[in-house]
């Protein structure tokens, strides 16, 4: 799908978001951003917008899996490194773990322990969707345990009704679109 290069980023995102009712659990309206990621121009608009927001960071951390995908593209644009915050059980030990609740159930996320020197690094956390805020809150705690400084978070879509922004205050979240 062709997307006008100058369309406001929120319009670009909305035009390529597929709403899926009752997935992955009943009552959840899933935001499927696959078509957005596939579209070269739309991804360019999204990454441009995130690059403005994340310009003060020296590392971006993306939440597996869709947040990591966006974070990797952003890191390449900014010329900085990227850390993928992994789902529980994917990384070899030793790991640091944080458990959390999200819109559709409990989960855990991990990063390597000891092997990364993150102390003092200015990190921007990236995810696709902000819902209840459990995920971004846990990611922030995980990174802060390493001595990294989380300077903010950015998401492609914020689900306002679920109150995630308030739940993770004072962490500042920049959303490219709100629904
Ligand atoms: P939460 O922790 O409740 O803010 O949930 C955010 C995390 O769960 C993100 O990593 C999203 O990928 C995923 N997520 C939660 N709700 C949705 C939704 N309605 N559509 C797509 N992804 C979602």
Gap between the Cα atoms of 49 and 176, Å rounded: 7
Q: What is the position in ligand 1's atom list of the atom closest to the CA of 67?
A: 10
CA angle 78, 82, 70 (to 5 degrees): 75
> Residue with the nearest Cα to atom 23 of ligand 1?
129
For a mutational test of ligand 1's pocket, the pick from 31, 35, 131, 140, i.e. the residue with the most ligand atoms closer than 8 A to its C-beta, is 131
Q: What is the position in ligand 1's atom list of the atom closest to the CA of 137?
A: 2
> What pTM does this model have?
0.95
Let me know if residue 43 belongs to a domain: no
Read off the pLDDT of each residue in 9-18 and give the average, rounded to a whole number.
Answer: 98
30 CB near ligand 1 (under 6 Å): yes
Let me know if residue 134 belongs to a domain: yes
Q: State the residue for tokens 């559709």.
A: 104
- pLDDT value of residue 115: 87
Element (H, E) at 126: strand 122-130
- pLDDT value of residue 104: 79
Residue 152: which CATH number?
3.40.50.2020
* Secondary-structure percent of the chain, ordered helix, strand, coil, rounded to 5: 30, 35, 35
pLDDT digits (tens, 9 = 90+) for 85-107: 999 999 999 999 999 987 777 89
Read off the pLDDT of each residue in 149-158 and give the average, rounded to a whole number.
Answer: 98
Question: How much distance in Å is there from the Cα of 102 to the middle of ligand 1?
Answer: 7
Domain count, the chain: 1
Strands 173-175, 149-158: pairing is: parallel
Read off the pLDDT of each residue in 37-64 and give the average, rounded to a whole number.
Answer: 97
Let me know if residue 129 belongs to a domain: yes
């Amino acid at each position: 799908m062709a997307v006008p290069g100058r369309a406001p980023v929120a319009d670009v995102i909305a035009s390529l978001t597929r709403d899926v009712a009752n997935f992955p659990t009943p009552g959840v309206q899933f935001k499927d951003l696959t078509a957005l990621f596939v579209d070269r121009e739309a991804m360019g608009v999204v990454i441009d917008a995130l690059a403005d927001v994340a310009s003060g960071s020296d590392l971006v951390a993306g939440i597996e899996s869709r947040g990591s995908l966006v974070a990797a593209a952003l890191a390449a644009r900014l010329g900085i490194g990227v850390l993928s915050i992994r789902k529980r059980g994917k990384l070899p030990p030793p790991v640091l773990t944080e458990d959390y609740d999200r819109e559709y159930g409990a989960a855990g996320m991990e990063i390597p322990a000891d092997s990364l020197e993150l102390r003092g690094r200015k990190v921007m956390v990236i995810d696709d969707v902000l819902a209840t805020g459990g995920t971004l809150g846990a990611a922030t705690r995980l990174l802060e345990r390493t001595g990294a400084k989380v300077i903010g978070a950015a998401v492609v879509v914020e689900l306002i009704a679920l109150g995630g922004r308030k739940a993770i205050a004072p962490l500042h979240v920049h959303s490219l679109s709100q629904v």
